[in-house]
Amino acid sequence: MHPAPSVIVFTSLSGLGFGLMFWMGFGVPDVFGWTAFWMYFVAYALAVGGLIASTLHLGNPQRAIKAFSQWRTSWLSREGVAAVLTLLVVAAYAIELIFFQSRYPLLGWIGSLLAIATVFTTSKIYNQLKTVPRWNLPLTPLLFLTYALAGGALLAGQVLTAAVLLLVLTGLQMVAWQMGDKAFANAGHSIETATGLGHLGKVRQLENAHSSPNYLMKEMVYVVARKHAQKLRAIALVTLGLLPAAILLFLPFNHALALVAVASHLIGVFTARWLFFAEAEHVVGLYYDKR
C-alpha cells in the first residue's frame, strides 16, 4: 500500500495523543492547573493534529462532515464519531482540572475508555480489510492499542510503566512482522485464484492492461523501497522501544533525557508505521503479477 505521509502522521500522532489522554483520565500523572494545561495541550495537539492530517488525503475534504453518518456499518465513520466524543468528554474533564483544580473521576474514566476505543476503531479501519492479509490479522488492533498505551505512558512520564510497555511493544511488533510475512501466503490468494485460470496451468502476465501506472498501482501496488525493509525494521525496534526503555530504566530521570526518549520513540513509530503501509500487500497486485 502507498505509505501516504498524511495517514502515517495521522495514525502515529493521534494514537500517541489518545494514549496520553487515556492515562491522564485515570489521574496519571496527578496534575492540576498549568501542568495539566500543558499536558493536555500536547495531547490535543497530537490527537487533533493527526486528525487534521488525515483529511489531507481526501479528494473532497469539504464534505468530511458526512463521514460521521455511517457509524452503524463503517469503522472509518465510527472512528470519526469516537474521536469527536473523546475530544469533547476529555475537554470537559481537562477544564475542571485546569481551572477548578478539582477532579471528577467518573468523567476521567469515561474519557479514558473513549480514548482507547478511538484507537481501536483506527486499527479496525485497517484490520477489517481482507484484501490486505498482513493487516487482516487479530494482532493488528492489539498492536495499535499497545502503541497508544506505551507512547501515552511515556508522554505521561510514567517511568516504569512506560519502560515495561515499550519492551512489550517491541516484542509484539516483532511477532506482528513475523506473522505478517506469512499472512499473504496463508490467505491462499494467487494469480491463479484471482483469474480463475489455475485449472489450465501456471498463469503469468503477458502484457500490461495499460501502458503507464494507474490509481490502483500507485495506491495499492506500492513496491518501492521494500528492499530496505529489514534495516528499517531493526531501526524501528531500537528507536521505538529498546532505546527509550533503556533510557528510562538505566539513566537518572530528568526532562532532557525524557525528551530524547520521546524523540527516539517518535522516530521509531514513524518508521514502523511507514513499514506498516509500505510492506502491506493488496490482493489486487495479483492482477498485475506484482505483490
Partner 1 sequence: MTALPQTTEKKLGLVIDLDICVGCHACVVNCKEWNTSNYGAPLSDIDPYGAEPMGTFLNRVHSYEVKSEGCNAQTVHFPKSCLHCDDAPCVTVCPTGASYKRAEDGIVLVNEDNCIGCGLCAWACPYGARELDQMEGVMKKCTLCVDRIYNENIPEIDRLPACVRTCPAGARHFGDFADPDSNVSRLSAERGGMELMPEQGTKPVNRYLPPRPKSDVTAENKIDLLAPYLAPMDEADSAKGFLGWLDKALEKI
Contact residues toward partner 1 (CB under 8 A) are: 1, 57-61, 63-64, 66-70, 72-77, 80, 125, 128-132, 187-189, 191, 193-197, 199-216, 219-220, 282-284, 287-288
Q: Is 237 or 275 the residue whose CB approaches partner 1 more closely?
A: 275
Q: How far apart are CA 36 and CA 45, in angstroms?
A: 14
Q: Give the DSSP H or E segment for 11.
A: helix 5-25
Residue with smaller CB distance to partner 1, 218 or 228: 218
CB of 101 to partner 1, least distance (A): 40
Q: Write down the least CB distance from residue 225 to partner 1, Å.
A: 20
User: In the complex with partner 1, which residue's Cβ is closer, 101 or 214?
Assistant: 214
Task: Look up residue 8 and give its amino acid.
Answer: I
Output 203 or 232, the one with its CB closest to partner 1. 203
CA torsion sign, 204 to 291 to 227 to 242? Answer: negative
Question: Quick count: other Cβ atoms within 10 Å of Cβ 108?
Answer: 23
At residue 290, the 3 state secondary structure works out as: coil
Task: Give me the least distance between CB of 186 and partner 1, in Å please.
Answer: 11
- Please say which residue, 188 or 252, places its beta carbon nearer to partner 1: 188
Q: How far is the CB of 68 from partner 1 (least distance, A)?
A: 8
List the one residue out of 136, 128, 140 whose CA is nearest residue 172.
140
Smallest distance from partner 1 to CB 16, Å: 22
Q: How far apart are CA 177 and CA 241, in angstroms?
A: 15
89, 11, 5, 90: which is closest to 50 by C-alpha? 11
